[in-house]
Amino acid sequence: MTNNLFKHKIKVPIFSSEIKEIDEGGLFESNDYNSLINYVKNKINSFVETRNVVTQSRTNKVKEMQISNIEYFDSDFEGIPILLLKITAYNTNLLDGFVETEEKRELKSTDKVGSDTNYMLVYPSIFGVTSSKFTYQFKFFVYDDPTKESHEIISICKLVSNKILEIKVRNLKLDNILKELKQDELLENVEIQLSSQTEETEDPEIKLKQYLVKSKVSKITKNNYKNIPTERFENLLNHSEGNFIKRTLKVIRNKREYKITQEKHKDDFDRLNNTVEEIFNSQYELNQEDLEKMFDEEFIFKNLKFALTDFYKQNE
């Protein structure tokens, strides 16, 4: 298939840590960027030296994801030190499946299927520096190359942040997001996905009906909207009417995506549990020559620095 018919892309999703205020002489050596980067390096060095393996299991799933090693590489962006992490991660406890090279072999629970080319860029931010304390935040730029599943590489990077670097990913508040959205009278690009579940014991398609004990029908409806008045969108968020158990609303502004997931409380369907994410996505098309150097350190830095520039231009 020719390049004109099929395009590969590098995507760079970005997530943020919580904003923290630290007194000088506490966790960090001093109130500067190098101190923040050294904190990350020290956490990685400790992880590598102790030869620990960090594990993440999904609820009701046997398969486990594990992180076994991290390397880091220094660079800078407009005078600010940055750090590229190269992460070795794999899935294990695989009770089903096979691998075939010269011959087919069933996978064992101790086998590991993974990659040592999972990359993430760490960018430190400092706000309101004073002589005695400072407020800081980390931005994480994920190198989502076309050989990876997006959700898996993002999960790997968030696992490293939370469990190895001990840096919590920012937990956004719905009120704060609404304040940002109110800057626009109209929301140009909105996607709403509704998940519902009903009992359909009268469905004529049900076979062996005389033996039926229980029946559930799950339904997902996804709609795209243009130019929704912000006030009407806010009213929708604050009301739980409708036949759904889960509602996912995505608002896309340029390359920034706000994702709001609402689930009805199991004991009170008038209450909604909200989860809010903010995602900034940059992406770049690759040609055949790019594919051959996709994991070269220089090429990775170049693309992630493009994303850094893109991100800060959007936020000026």
Pairing of strands 228-229, 246-253: unpaired
Q: How many CA atoms lie within 13 A of 166 on its CB side?
A: 9
Q: What is the rounded distance in angstroms from the CA atom of residue 13 to the CA atom of residue 10?
A: 10
Domain annotation covers residue 257: yes
Q: Do 141 and 121 form a contact (C-beta atoms < 8 A)? A: yes
Asked which of 118, 141, 169 is the last residue of a domain, the reply is 169
**Do 118 and 178 fall within a single domain?**
no
**Do 161 and 186 fall within a single domain?**
no
Place of tokens 């909105």: 190
Average pLDDT over residues 13-40: 78
Q: How many C-beta atoms surround the C-beta of residue 69 within 10 A?
A: 14
Which domain range does residue 37 map to?
18-169
* 239 vs 59, residue with greater confidence: 239
Asked which of 141, 169, 197 is the last residue of a domain, the reply is 169
**Do 113 and 236 fall within a single domain?**
no
The structure's pTM equals: 0.75
Q: What is the rounded distance in angstroms from the CA atom of residue 224 to the CA atom of residue 190?
A: 6
**Do 112 and 185 fall within a single domain?**
no
pLDDT at position 3: 45
* Three-state helix/strand/coil letters over the chain: CCCCCCCEEEEEEEEEECCEEEECCCCCCCCCHHHHHHHHHHHHHHHHHHCCCEEEECCCCCCEEEEEEEEEEEEEECCEEEEEEEEEEEEECCCCCEEECCCEEECCCCCCEEEEEEEEEEEEEEECCCCCEEEEEEEEEEEECCCCCHHHHHHHHHHHHHHHCCCCECCCCHHHHHHHHCCCCEECCEEEEEEEEECCCCCCCCCCHHHCCCCCEEEEEEEEECCEEHHHHHHHHCCCCCCCCEEEEEEEECCEEEEEEEEEECCEEEEEEEEEEEEEEEEEEECHHHHHCCCCHHHHHHHHHHHHHHHHHHCC
Give me 268's structure tokens: 């009170």
Give the chain's domain count.
2
**Do 182 and 237 fall within a single domain?**
yes
pLDDT digits (tens, 9 = 90+) for 225-261: 999 999 999 998 888 877 888 999 999 887 788 889 9
Q: How confident is the model at residue 266 (pLDDT cuts 50, 70, 90)?
A: confident
Q: How confident is the model at residue 203 (pLDDT cuts 50, 70, 90)?
A: low
Asked which of 119, 144, 169 is the last residue of a domain, the reply is 169
Domain annotation covers residue 309: no
**Do 33 and 156 fall within a single domain?**
yes
- pLDDT over 90 for what percent of the chain? 32
Q: Do 121 and 84 form a contact (C-beta atoms < 8 A)? A: yes
* 220 vs 103, residue with greater confidence: 220
pLDDT digits (tens, 9 = 90+) for 108-131: 777 778 888 999 999 998 886 555
Q: How confident is the model at residue 269 (pLDDT cuts 50, 70, 90)?
A: low
